Structure 1
Amino acid sequence: MAGFAQHTLSAGWSFRDSADESPEAWLPVPTVPSVVQQDLQANGKLQDPFIGFNELSARWVNEKSWTYRNVFQKPDVPPGSAIFLVFDGLDTFAKVKLDGQTILESDNMFLAHRVDITKLLEGDGEHTLEIDFDCALLRARELRKQHPDHKWVGFNGDPARLSVRKAQYHWGWDWGPVLMTAGIWREVRLEVYSARISDLWTELELATDHGNAQVSAFAELETNSDTSYKATFTLSLYGQEIAKAVATPESNVAKATFDVQNPSLWWPNGYGDQTLYEISLSLEAGGNKLHQVSKKFGIRTAEVVQRPDKHGKSFFFRINGIDIFCGGACWIPADSLLTNITPERYRKWIELMAVGHQVMIRVWGGGIYEDESFYQACDEVGIMVWQDFMFGCGNYPTWPAILESIEKEATYNVRRLRHHPSIVIWVGNNEDYQVQEQQGLTYNYEDKDPQSWLQTDFPARYIYEKLLPDVVKKTSPSTFYHPGSPWGDGKISSDPTVGDMHQWNVWHGTQEKYQIFDTLGGRFNSEFGMEAFPHLATIDYFVENEADKYPQSHVLDFHNKADGHERRIATYLVENLRTATDLETYVYLTQVVQAETMMFGYRGWRRQWGDERHCGGALLWQLNDCWPTTSWAIVDYFLRPKPAFYAVSRVLRPIAIGVRREHHDWSVSHAQPPKTGKYELWVASSLRKELAGKVELRFISIKTGREIHDAIVHENVTIVPNGTTNILEGVLDYVADEPHVLAARVWVNGELLARDVDWPQPFKYLDLSDRGLEVTRISRTDDEQKLELSTRKPLKCLVFEEREGVRVSDSAIDLVPGDDQIVTIKGLRRGEPQLKYKFLGQ
């Protein structure tokens, strides 16, 4: 018997508009996977839709159907072997024909397909494969018309999108363009074999004391004969075999169990190593090796702790028995044209999170179940994954065929991803319960009859509370399932006492002051955000004409898809900062507001972690962009971190100090200054051991840089592990015309670990000119230099230019006299211009 062989069909493709059947209509496809917009660009038929207004001139593509063709040679087929045509992903309405015969019809982008074509390839020589991709936009509208009784309501895009199992953001979102892709968006190949391993997975039991772990390995086999097979499982660590077991498959399933003594555990970033074991299965018959499959997995436990407490009901993650404050971000697809994303690009995003002390990424439900390389990077770097199912902002229909498709989609993707230790939760949807609330759709939490839910005007409840949890329980039983985000035990989705919440009353909603963000949170804040412009280099990419490079230009507004963004950005700018009309300063000011907003949210919510886990985590909206744009992202499309990235990083350090004066609402008080005000000082720790530290608080005049009274110093402060240490509370007497900052620092064993500077608000009332900044280079190698930063007077938000291939260790820095800071710049070669920088009031 011959072994498993595969032949990737990546070359030799051509495509055409399905309506144009002329021979000259066929155009070459550079490579597959691809989507039609990329192939049109490669043939000079479409301009880059990411530049200028080109998205509008690319809209015609959205309403077309497309045909792809490949002529291939029949591969060698040993006796007893079968040939399968395998698609890992077709986007979306696809009819596949082989030599003119229809062999597959698909309407779900999130599914893989396998077709036995052995008999169809009995003849040697060339064979023609054609795939017709029908227009998803028009098909969705047809489906909507066919189901007039369903309530087609939701946020963002054409409500007809709810009828199609396709990435929902393709219909346009409040941060992304309308780009309806079509094509072979994941790998296509021929597989030739007599037997194969169709699935390999493990189930784990870890002792409470972590002294041993039982690893149960399972393999599902696909065979086409009554041959006797031998399955050999091998368990490895760091490339070294540590155990082996031989199994005889029964009913095409092979099993083995390994006892691992003193296992090396998988931990999130900052808590320990990201140890990955490898399980391999070799399938043999008659002394011949037929197929081998390997997967990496981690030994760990993951719980979501929900228990009654003084704040309501907790919601936080516990990994290997350790409570983890989940500081992190939400993830949207990293490109509107998904096949642009390489494994290297995924890796850079995830590594950037780790550098920023983040520990969780939320894969949002309007995108895709991500590529394997995304989750591999999360496994290896230690970023926990909150994985939404692909339902976003709508009332989804539930006719029988779509329920069947959803069940297949969920089963396929949970099976595909269940070995990744980074995935710690599956979640039913994004904001669909909010749609239910806002539209007044029927939802009676006390009704526990799933069949009755299908008869209501909110039938999607059946998906989130019956279908999906059943799939997770059957397929990945040790992974926690949560019906939606936000969701909390059937209470209103904005209830701050239970479950997770999306807090959008800063920016959206009531547009609260960002200075009070921490008072607006709940048990787990899984969305919140503030917009900021991308860096000038990114704007230079998509704005073609110099005349358009001003803050309110038409093309800049076009590259911001958020409703009312003009008034919202303007509101937060005018409330807080002295505004500007030149683009460079305006970009910077929006970024200052975003950085301050994220800091105020994260700093306060992390402090609440120490109060009986009042806040279990904070996932900002959003980490990334899918095209060059102005959005809530803290890192723009080209992987250029905005100042907010650094602000969040400082707050999420293993040891972080916080100082804050009580908020004085200057707009309500008609800009009258306070006479006195309270302040608080604390230290947050994510470390598992108690520390002794020194804490200092200084009171420094913004006008003169002098200390307005003696510093407060506490020696030998006990810093509690994995919690918050409240240091002191005090009252400030405000001196007329003498605004001052509160500057806090903490040392452990003589090492300065963290700083925080609290400023009087709003910044627009402060004179921040003549700061006396000095930037001194103190060391230099070929690609690394260290800069020392000092100032005569308190300085706000020193931001370094972000340049391709160059990384700075810190940015968006606050400086005070007597506390010089060192910044390391890597990747800047000798002879290259120094990085530019900007600070408030410059």
Structure 2
Amino acid sequence: MLEVTAFGEGWTLEHEGGRLPAVVPGCVHTDLLAAGVIPDPFLGRNETGTAWVGRREWTYTAELGAASGHERTDLVFEGLDTAAEITLDGQLLGRTRNMHRSYRFDVTGLRGRLAVRFASAYTEAAAVRDRLGERPAAYAEPYQYIRKMACSFGWDWGPTLVTAGIWRPVRLEHWSTARLGRVRPVVTVDQALGVVELHVDVERTRSEADLHVEVRVGGRVARATVEGTSGTVRLEVPDVRLWWPRGYGGQPLYDVELTLLHGDEVLDSWRRRIGFRTVQLDRRPDRHGTGFTLVVNGERLFARGVNWIPDDVFPSRVTGDRYRRRLGRAADAGVDLVRVWGGGVYESEDFYDACDELGLLVWQDFPFACAAYPEEQPLRGEVEAEARENVVRLMPHPSLVLWNGNNENLWGFRDWGWEERLAGESWGEGYYLGLLPRVVAELDPTRPYTAGSPWSGSWERHPNDPAHGTHHSWEVWNRADYAEYRSEVPRFVAEFGWQAPPAYATLRRALPGEELAADSPGMLHHQKADDGNGKLRRGLEHHFAFPEGDFDRWHYLTQVNQARAVAAGIEYWRAHWPVCAGTVVWQLNDCWPVTSWAAIDGDGREKPLWHELRRLYADRLLTLQVREQGLVLAAVNQGARAWRGDLTLRRMTVDGVLVEDAGVALEAGARAVTVVGVPAELRPDGPKEFLVADGGGLRALYFPAPDREIRYPEPEFEVTVAPGAVTVTARTLVRDLLLQADRLDPAARADRGLVTLLPGERVTIGVTGWKTPGVAAARAALYCVEPSR
């Protein structure tokens, strides 16, 4: 039987002629940080002072032990970041140049000093650039010349911390006769009959040995002979339970065990969990353009999505528990799809396991983002090798429903001046429209592939045409008021978002001793977007008087604006189902403390946006919006049962006077949207009035003017405190009340975000982690919209 020995202990990192303890898996930065050689690059402006780390060579060493008694011993690296030379007592074992692959070296009978020497990623990228020529990119760093996590080189939300190291586990595998080299599972289902077809490649030490494989799934067993180095075993499982995305059904998972045998001797085994489900991507043309609708088990879905970036700029620090916490918060917010963005990595098994269990659909980008990528060697062979390995590695996961060729590169070629600058040089099109779809079709025919995001499906149309395929909506954040989200109905919004700073306690930890201001040195350093603060200001000024010199108001209002902006888009687009078939918010998470588009900040604290997503992505949503026919009420029902009930519409003044009210009978079918016009007598007249719709425990609000034009009363409310709860009773209209629980205690969390109270209404906010409750402290942590001054 194959024996596995973990090889994570006993490593050292050479540093200035000496040696430091090294943690494997890990990276140079984390080892230097643990040894006190560098300060925490996430604090203050320390990032700048650690830039030298990414420009040096680094060597890891360990002692390789004695032989095992097996015929063969392999040294297996699950991930090396990135350009490395591996030697054993000075003898070259091999060289690597791809972070996204694993590597295996035959070390049978060898022992001694193992060294893994990493070249600077800058040096490797420069060598490739000198050989293949310049290629344009959205950022100045050379990430397109090396198969490495692109955002290591910085992004408009991330620091420039160019890593090196043994970033995934290392092991020794000892085996005799044969071992399993690759198992490719093709899982299909027809009605209630599940079919598991395992394509097996083996590596042998003895070609004459008779081998067979045995597979067990759901109490069923099948066997097949392995001829030469490959074989296929097929097994049918009747009456399987289907795996569904969350909100549509359960997530039953089946254990699969494949055993490689020589006679009765077990040589090796492979174990995974699978789920039975079907997935299609409906891209048929219709009168609105070209659709982009995911269909799982025959059910057409409106995808309630978020974009995922690496959860730490040092990805070896992201544990299985951390994945589950973060993805659990996505599920808690009503999310049913997570897009793994192309500037990051193929995540670890823990990520996809969690998505399988939580019912989160995974849209997986291949790692290409915002740049022209050369298609010549040495990159082309690396791209194909990494694609083949990771497609097969991730195939068992039922949560994985879509492969995507790249992020924004097809769009960049057309709109960002690349075509002229490239002058005919390769830039990645051959990957996205040639190599990658061939690999997916060959290895994973059960899943759809799309060439890029955004992508209209044809060069005959603009790549980012909102009427065709996927669309990225960034003109609004960059240049307009978020009300412009309501000016069009894309078929599928794969990226859009609005910035806000992280939670107050996160800023206090990240910027120790700094007097916080929107433009203080640390705040500016932790704002990586081009003119980010300018865009935040212009976005605020469409709605509020800018709070000059008042950081606390600026912090609160920018978070309000983020939540409102995302709500403006999702409400409008969900209400246009099935023309629009999904929204994927940029972004769920952060990789460090930073002002960004994230709903959960770099310290894991939820912004008001996260709480707003819980409302926006719930099965049932009420929204008031202006259409061509005037003001309408839309009831969005993504549940499996019809929604019937009575709604109350109230036209009110901001001073709390009821002008007119009416009841409305509502019926929205399952997975459907109902839109009804608001009667003329209920439509608010100018900035002194607003409309409230209530029903089924849900509320929608419509204010016809921006806040800066509304003469709000001075907010008045009472506060009471009990263990684990803060209760607020409104005496006036209190708009967008927010308890910033982390101002009470850095460990405190509130169970809700922004809430608008009418006069006489009361809300109780649950609070955990607050050790010394008090009314004064609670009142100081409460914020709401105030009259313009």
Aligned partners of 1:562 and 1:271: how far apart in 2?
38
Deviation of the 1:255 alpha carbon: 3.4
SS in 2 for 1:48: coil
- Structure 1: how far apart are the matches of 2:240 and 2:762? 44
Which letter does structure 2 place at the counterpart of 1:500?
T
CA deviation profile, 1:456-481 (whole Å, cap 9, x unmatched): 33441111111000111111111111
* Aligned counterparts of 2:715 and 2:423: Cα–Cα separation in 1: 67
CA, structure 1 residues 432+206, in 2 after alignment: closer, same or farther (shift >3 Å)? same
Matched, 1:46 2:38: yes
How many Å separate the matches in 2 of 1:794 and 1:681?
22
**Alignment equivalent of 1:660, drawn from 620, 625, 628:** 625
Show the counterpart of 1:757: 701
- Amino acid in structure 2 at the alignment position of 1:417: L
One-letter code aligned to 2:450 = H
- The verdict on how the C-alpha distance between 1:713 and 1:114 changes in structure 2, with shifts beyond 3 A counting, is same
In structure 1, the residue matched to 2:115 is: 130
Say whether the 8 Å CA contact 1:640–1:802 is kept in structure 2.
no
Q: Is the 8 A contact 1:441 1:458 kept in 2?
A: no
Q: What is the CA distance between 1:327 and its match in structure 2?
A: 1.4
Deviations 1:26-85 (A, max 9, x none): 2221x201111111111211011111110110011121111111013224223xx31000
In the alignment, which residue of structure 2 is the partner of 1:799?
738
Q: Deviations over 1:267-302 (max 9, x none)?
A: 111111111111111223343333222101111111
**Residue 707 (str. 1) matches residue 699 (str. 2):** no
Q: Is the 8 A contact 1:52 1:542 kept in 2?
A: yes
- What corresponds to 1:731 in structure 2? 680
In the aligned structure 2, how far is the partner of 1:134 from the partner of 1:556? 33
**Which residue of the partner structure matches residue 27 of structure 2?**
35
Query: Structure 1 residue 172 and structure 2 residue 157: aligned?
Result: no
Counterpart residue type for residue 423 of structure 1: L
The answer on 1:564 being equivalent to 2:531 is yes
Q: 1:736 to 1:279 in 2, by over 3 A?
A: closer
Which residue number in structure 2 is paired with residue 640 of structure 1?
A: 605
| Amino acid in structure 2 at the alignment position of 1:801 | Q
Distance in 2 (CA, whole Å) between partners of 1:406 and 1:112 is 13
1:221 aligns with 2:213: no
Deviation at 1:596, TM superposition (A): 0.4
Residue number in structure 2 paired with 1:259: 236
* Partner Cα distance (2:215, 2:772) in 1: 53
Note closer, same or farther for the CA distance 1:63–1:441 as it changes in structure 2 (3 Å cut): closer
Matched, 1:112 2:97: no
Partners in 1 of 2:615 and 2:608 — Cα distance?
A: 11
8 Å CA contact 1:157–1:173 kept in 2: the answer is no
Cα pair distance change 1:71/1:763, threshold 3 Å: same
Q: Which residue of 2 aligns with 1:380?
A: 357
1:550 pairs with 2:522: no
Structure 2 residue 644 is the aligned partner of structure 1 residue 696: no
Q: Which runs of 5+ in 1 are unaligned?
A: 237-241, 444-453, 664-676
SS in 1 for 2:499: coil
Displacement of 1:316:
1.1
**Aligned equivalents of 1:478, 1:805: Cα separation in 2:** 45
Aligned CA distance change for structure 1 residues 698 and 790 (closer, same or farther; 3 Å)? farther
User: SS state of the match for residue 258, structure 1?
Assistant: strand
Offset of 1:827 from its aligned partner? Answer: 5.4
How far, CA to CA, are the matches of 1:734 and 1:232 in structure 2?
69
Label 1:76 to 1:621 Cα distance change in 2 as closer, same or farther (>3 A). same
Conserved? CA contact 2:132–2:376, under 8 Å:
no
**Kept in 1: contact 2:721–2:774 (CA 8 A):** no
Pick one of 261, 270, 274 that aligns with 2:251: 274
Q: Deviations over 1:762-800 (max 9, x none)?
A: 11223445333345568x6xxxx4555542333222222
1:737-752 alignment, distance < 5 Å:
739-747=688-696, 752=697
For the residues of structure 2 that align with 1:46 and 1:639, how far apart are their CA atoms?
24
**How far apart are 1:732 and its partner, in Å?**
6.0
1:523 to 475, 485, 491: 491
Q: Which residue among 53, 58, 61 is the counterpart of 1:69?
A: 61
Letter in 1 for 2:135: W
The one-character-per-residue Cα deviations of 1:239-282 (angstroms, maximum 9, x if unpaired) are: xxx22223332334343333333321111111111111111112
Q: 1:770 aligns with which of 710, 714, 723?
A: 714
Give the aligned partner of residue 205 of structure 1.
188
Q: 2 CA distance for matches of 1:723 and 1:775? A: 40
- Cα distance in structure 1, aligned partners of 2:331 and 2:469: 26
> 1:811 is aligned with what amino acid?
G
What is the SS of the residue equivalent to 1:556?
A: helix
Give the stretch that moved more between structures: 648-657 or 685-694. 685-694
2:152 maps to 1:154: no
- Answering whether residue 329 of structure 2 is matched by residue 336 of structure 1, we say no
Secondary structure at 2:188's aligned position in 1? strand
CA distance in 2, matches of 1:131, 1:742: 66
> Displacement, 1:433?
1.2
Which of 363, 369, 394 matches 2:340? Answer: 363
Distance (whole Å) between structure 1 residues aligned to residue 360 and residue 38 of structure 2 = 38
Shift of 1:177: 1.1
Within 2, Cα distance between the matches of 1:301 and 1:822? Answer: 43
CA separation in 1, counterparts of 2:769 and 2:230?
52
CA distance in 1, matches of 2:89, 2:150: 33
* Shift in Å, 1:724: 0.6
> Which of 251, 276, 284 matches 1:299?
276
User: For the residues of structure 2 that align with 1:726 and 1:293, how far apart are their CA atoms?
Assistant: 52
Contact 2:562–2:609, Cα closer than 8 Å, also in 1 = yes
Pairing 1:775-786 to 2, within 5 Å after superposition: 775=719, 785=724
Structure 2: distance between partners of 1:435 and 1:738: 42
Quote the offset at 1:546 in angstroms: 3.5
The answer as to whether partners of 1:625 and 1:635 remain within 8 angstroms in 2 is yes
* Alignment match, 2:10: 12
Amino acid at match of 2:533: E
Query: 1:146 offset after TM fit, Å?
Result: 2.5
Take 2:313 and 2:154, find their aligned partners in 1: how far apart are those partners? 10
For residues 638 and 321 of structure 1, the distance between their equivalents in structure 2, rounded to whole angstroms, comes to 39
Partner of 1:687: 639
In the alignment, the residues of structure 2 paired with residue 827 and residue 488 of structure 1 have an alpha-carbon distance, to the nearest angstrom, of: 48
Name the CA distance, whole Å, in 1 between partners of 2:711 and 2:67: 75
Q: Relative to 1, partners in 2 of residues 1:299 and 1:735: Cα closer, same or farther, differing over 3 Å?
A: closer
| Secondary structure, aligned partner of 2:73 | strand
- Deviation string 1:406-459 (CA, Å, 9 cap, x unpaired) is 10011011111111111111111111112211345559xxxxxxxxxx993344
Structure 2, unpaired ranges of 5+? none
| 1:204 shift after superposition | 2.9
Percent identity, please: 31
In 2: Cα distance, 1:495 partner to 1:619 partner: 17
State the match for 2:541 in structure 1: 574
The answer to whether the Cα contact below 8 Å between 2:80 and 2:98 also exists between their aligned partners in 1 is yes
| TM-align CA RMSD | 2.4
2:470 to 490, 494, 500: 500
Aligned to 1:449: none
State how far apart, in whole Å, the 1-side matches of 2:772 and 2:592 are: 32
For 1:408, what is the secondary structure of its paired residue?
helix
